[in-house]
Amino acid sequence: MDSHYFMHAPMAHLVIDPIADRIVAVNEAACRLLQNTDTVLRQQRASRLFALDLAGLVVFSEEVMTRGYGSSQRLLVRCGEHAERMDIHARCLATDPITLLLCLQPLKEWHARQEQLEVEHHYQSGIQHWHRVAQVFQEFERQNQLLLDAAGEGIYGVDEHGCAIFINPAGERILGYRADELTGKNIHDMVHHSHEDGSHFPIEDCPIFTAFRDGDVHMVDDDVFWAKDGRAVHVEYTSTPVYDNGRIVGAVVVFRDVTQKKADHHRLLAALAEVEQLKHRLELENAYLQEEINSGFNHHQIIGQSAAVQHTVRQIQLVAATDATVLIQGESGTGKELIARAIHETSSRSRRSLIRVNCAAIPADLFESEFFGHVKGSFTGAVSDRPGRFEVADGGTLFLDEVGEIPLHLQGKLLRVLQEQQFERVGEARTRHVDVRIIAATNRDLKRYVDDGQFREDLYFRLNVFPIESVPLRRRRDDIPLLARHFLDKACTRMNKPGLKISLSQLERLMQYHWPGNIRELENVIERQVILTQGPTLQFSDLQWPSLALPDSNVSERSSKTSDDPMVLSEGDVRQQQQANVLAALSQCQGRIFGAHGAAALLGIPPTTLASRLRKWNIDARQWRKRSNHEHSCGESLDHGRYDGVR
């Protein structure tokens, strides 16, 4: 290659080594085009010039190396601070090492050159055809001048090369161009060069130009024309071919500005989406309310006259009038949710719903979705937008039951919402604000959890603003007669067995029992006896645990004095009592045997001893774990109605 001719060639040339990814040589025209010096360019990697389309460069290079030559108009080349699409012709100069000679020309210059060549071609073939095309559109414009001037839609005519012949006044107003600014120029390059997102709109894909090839009328109802001031004008248009002696000589385009129409449509869709969200939220609230109506805790009275109950009632009255966060702690089955409902019903938020969340039943991977909601497509299975519990509880109260079961790595996300009362749905950047009162409940010793590193200290203090203890039934034995009569009336009504009674001696037996399952177990026992009894009086012969043998010493004097002679138990009764005690412990610990929270620790015996007894009695502790998992998966409303174990 003569370096003198190469360096001073009028077209931009550069030689690259595609294997080593380097620029071997570059001429002066290429330096001007690429806006850099020879030295800088040869120090760069060749692929950097094509960094916006490396895959296209690889395919193009493979074609040239295979065929020996090639051309492309699809590659973008970096020219200084911007990129331009180029008309590239290439040839393989050598094979060892492989070098490719590239001739570059900006595509807009190539188009201009092609137009010039076409003009010259038409000029050479005869100026008469141009006159004839002009006459066709002049005749069309003359015959329809009144219509063109009066029409509210924009109308312009283009020849078969896409150059504007005329444009009516409405078109000038919509696009902001005067007729003389468009006439004779390629209309696609002027007003139709890009899509709405700013990406390039190839002229070969334009429906207006497609009409020149297929001769069909093309109607488009969602596109944009670009006004003189750079605005994207949303339009509907129809492109109709114009024939002269059976030959297509151009097209007439009628277009309408639908920017306002589209904006109104978007606002309508947004309004409908908001209505749909409100509808879904109301449906969720209604579903929660229906669950509560159908649940076993649909009464909102705290039954009892003991000092412990009266103290709890006074605490409820004090805190209900405020928006303070409440932490209710107590054993399972003691009525923690009943206290939460009493606080909500007595507060100013009672007109809105109390939304309950069983934190122990929510899988860790669905925590954010359940609490904060998600948008459609944010994860597999998210087929529609869904508000979370915080959003549904807006203006009301959110009851976080079993809050101690929230995994440690998720507690920080909950803390942020409690502090700021704002969150984002999963998959959405929009921040939502809510006004929610928090009531939390747990049967765990959260302070010990904090000391053990299982619960965040800052979250604990955030929840423990106003603590309330839910007293176990063994510490309020004086309330057992009232509770028993209430549950008896309720069970008799449900089972359609009116008139059943509890004798004084049987009532004393109930008051001597330890009640590890608390109020929930009491209701369960009474309901079971209502089902089993054949006479007018309920019998509780299966409650064989005298209070003397129990660790709780808070037994009322009345209970200890009214017992008859010491009950003599047979060996079978003792074995049945022992088995019942073990089953109650397994139920309370949800099948766990080992560990600080296992049934063995609750019973005060070694875990190996308990395991040996279970094998001897053919008892599988896993059934309590399966039952617990099943009840969690069945939804929160089932949790109200199950009293076969202790949570």
Mind listing the pLDDT tens digit for each residue in 478-511? 899 999 999 999 899 988 888 899 988 888 888 8
Query: Residue 600: what pLDDT?
Result: 84
- What is the distance of C-alpha 308 from the center of its chain? 45
Residue 221 CB burial class (10 angstroms; 0-12, 13-18, ≥19): exposed
Does the domain at 127-257 match CATH 3.40.50.720? Answer given as no
Q: Which CATH superfamily is domain 3-111 in?
A: PAS domain (3.30.450.20)
- What is the distance of C-alpha 25 from the center of its chain? 54
What is the 8-class DSSP label of residue 479?
A: G
The token duo for 542 is 């299966």
Pair type for strands 431-433 and 373-374: unpaired
d(CA 646, CA 332): 6
The token duo for 208 is 């207006």
Count of beta carbons in the 10 Å neighbourhood of residue 218? 18
- Split the chain (647 residues) into runs of 10 and give each run's mean pLDDT: 76 89 90 89 87 84 88 87 88 84 86 78 54 55 52 80 84 88 88 89 86 83 89 89 80 87 83 75 64 44 85 92 94 90 91 88 86 83 81 91 90 89 86 92 92 92 94 90 91 89 87 88 91 87 50 38 48 73 83 81 82 82 64 38 29
SS3 of residue 431 by DSSP: strand
Go through the chain and tell me how many residues it has.
647
CB 391 within 8 A of CB 434: yes
CB 355 within 8 A of CB 399: yes
Region for residue 413 given its phi and psi (left: phi exceeds 0; alpha: psi -120 to 50; beta: otherwise): alpha
Residue 39 CB burial class (10 angstroms; 0-12, 13-18, ≥19): exposed
Query: Residue 438: what pLDDT?
Result: 94
Domains 3-111 and 127-257 share a fold: yes
Residue 616 CB burial class (10 angstroms; 0-12, 13-18, ≥19): exposed
Question: Which CATH number, 3.40.50.300, 3.40.630.40, 2.40.420.20, 3.20.20.210, labels domain 298-471?
Answer: 3.40.50.300
CB 485 within 8 A of CB 508: no
Write the CB contacts of 169 (distance below 8 Å, at least 6 apart in sequence).
148, 149
Question: Which CATH number, 1.10.8.60, 1.20.120.720, 1.10.10.10, 1.10.150.120, labels domain 472-566?
Answer: 1.10.8.60
Write the CB contacts of 297 (distance below 8 Å, at least 6 apart in sequence).
337, 338, 341, 640
Count of beta carbons in the 10 Å neighbourhood of residue 153? 18
Residue 55 CB burial class (10 angstroms; 0-12, 13-18, ≥19): exposed
Write the CB contacts of 539 (distance below 8 Å, at least 6 apart in sequence).
506, 529, 533
The number of C-alpha atoms within 13 Å of 330 and in the hemisphere containing its C-beta is: 26
E-strand stretches of 295-337: 326-330
Query: Residue 641: what pLDDT?
Result: 32
Average pLDDT value over all residues in the chain:
80
| H-helix or E-strand spanning residue 226 | strand 218-226
Query: Residue 573: what pLDDT?
Result: 64
Q: Where are the domains of the chain?
A: 3-111, 127-257, 298-471, 472-566, 569-647
| Residue for token pair 């006074």 | 314
Residue 9 CB burial class (10 angstroms; 0-12, 13-18, ≥19): middle
Count of beta carbons in the 10 Å neighbourhood of residue 17? 15
Q: Cα dist. 581→226, 396, 573, 621 in Å?
A: 82, 41, 12, 14
d(CA 574, CA 581): 10
Query: Residue 437: what pLDDT?
Result: 94
Query: Residue 347: what pLDDT?
Result: 92
d(CA 511, CA 560): 10
Write the CB contacts of 98 (distance below 8 Å, at least 6 apart in sequence).
17, 18, 19, 65, 92
Alpha-helical runs (H) found in 589-606 = 599-603
Query: Residue 221: what pLDDT?
Result: 86
Residue 583 CB burial class (10 angstroms; 0-12, 13-18, ≥19): middle
The token duo for 624 is 């309590």
